[in-house]
């Protein structure tokens, strides 16, 4: 581990502890302090991923994220976390901020990075993304040759999602949650329901895979994704 770097952003992958990279594992076991998000101080997926690899007596900074629907949730929480992380660094300690998936892919780490990188050298270790994990779990090649992939957040407006689906070859729809019914309605409208694959909790022990058309209900877990191949070279493999 580079002794000049006091703050690390570690991507720990999508859920399976065996998918942590060797570099992330080495840093995880050498730092003095780990910092990680936890919903309202309760469960933390990223801490669960890291748990089998953690050394004893490592200090922890728990970033308690309130469950809000705000567009920019918990800004004061990140401000407080920065104070705690900065205090540890000023005390001569190294800190690893743990992130599910990849730190720069739709993660809360970016809020911390924006604040900390203005004052400190912050190094980021990439991790296996949820899209890569879901594609592999589904045994579904994502793209070939000149195919275009679009990542579409479920909370977007219905018309916006429809327009983006019509302009791409392959789409990964993320942040499905309570938007499941809306997404199914759009896919039926454009005739893509039969080619839509649903997966939740990819790489975890309770992973669940189905064709989207076989999924009942109007909501899905937070860690769920829909991959739909609409056109392109990958369909000709």
Classify domain 131-236 at the CATH class level. alpha beta
Neighbouring C-alpha atoms within 13 Å toward the C-beta of 182:
17
Mean pLDDT of 212-234: 88
pLDDT in tens, 184-207: 999 999 999 999 999 999 999 999
Rounded CA separation 102/110 (Å): 11
pLDDT computed for residue 149 by the predictor:
95
pLDDT computed for residue 159 by the predictor:
97
DSSP line for 70-114: -SSTTHHHHHHHHHHHHHHHHTT--EEEEESB-TTSS-THHHHHH
- Read off the pLDDT band of 67 (50, 70, 90): low
pLDDT computed for residue 76 by the predictor:
86
Which residue is associated with the tokens 């649903």? Answer: 198
pLDDT computed for residue 75 by the predictor:
82
11-15, 27-31, 40-44, 187-191: segment of lowest average pLDDT: 40-44
- Confidence (pTM): 0.90
Structurally, at CATH architecture level, domain 7-128 sits in: 3-Layer(aba) Sandwich (3.40)
Rounded CA separation 45/222 (Å): 12
What is the residue-averaged pLDDT of the chain? 92
6-20, 31-45, 100-114, 173-187: segment of lowest average pLDDT: 31-45
pLDDT in tens, 208-222: 999 999 998 888 988
- Read off the pLDDT band of 74 (50, 70, 90): low
Q: What is the largest CA-CA distance in the chain?
A: 59
CA distances, 15 to each of 51, 182, 191 (Å):
11, 27, 32
Mean pLDDT of 124-145: 94
The sheet carrying 59-65 orders its strands as: 59-65, 33-39, 95-99, 7-11, 122-125
pLDDT computed for residue 1 by the predictor:
67
Neighbouring C-alpha atoms within 13 Å toward the C-beta of 14:
23
* Same fold? 7-128, 131-236: no
Rounded CA separation 215/201 (Å): 15
Rounded CA separation 85/107 (Å): 18
Mean pLDDT of 38-58: 89
Hey, where are the domains in the chain? 7-128, 131-236
pLDDT computed for residue 68 by the predictor:
58
Residue 78 in this model has a pLDDT that exceeds 60: yes
Rounded CA separation 59/127 (Å): 23
Residue 36 in this model has a pLDDT that exceeds 60: yes
């Amino acid at each position: 581990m580079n002794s000049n770097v006091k703050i690390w952003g570690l991507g720990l992958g999508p859920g399976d502890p065996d998918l942590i990279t060797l570099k992330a594992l080495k840093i995880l076991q050498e730092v003095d302090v780990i910092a990680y998000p936890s919903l309202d101080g309760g469960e933390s997926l990223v801490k669960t991923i890291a748990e089998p690899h953690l050394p004893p007596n490592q200090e922890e900074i728990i970033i308690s994220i309130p469950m809000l629907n705000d567009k920019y949730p918990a800004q004061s929480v990140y401000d407080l976390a920065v104070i705690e992380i900065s205090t540890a660094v000023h005390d001569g300690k190294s800190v690893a901020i743990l992130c599910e998936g990849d730190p720069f892919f739709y993660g809360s780490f970016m809020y911390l990075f924006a604040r900390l990188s203005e004052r400190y050298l912050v190094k980021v270790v990439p991790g296996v993304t949820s899209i890569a994990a879901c594609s592999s779990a589904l045994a579904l090649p994502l793209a070939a040759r000149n195919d275009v992939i679009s990542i579409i957040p479920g909370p977007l407006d219905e018309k916006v999602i429809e327009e983006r689906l019509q302009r791409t070859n392959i789409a990964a729809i993320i942040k499905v949650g309570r938007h499941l019914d809306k997404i199914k309605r759009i896919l039926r409208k454009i005739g893509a329901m039969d080619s839509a694959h649903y997966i939740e909790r990819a790489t975890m022990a309770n992973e669940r895979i189905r064709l989207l058309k076989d999924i009942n209900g109007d909501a899905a877990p937070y860690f769920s994704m829909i991959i739909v191949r609409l056109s392109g070279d990958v369909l000709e493999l």
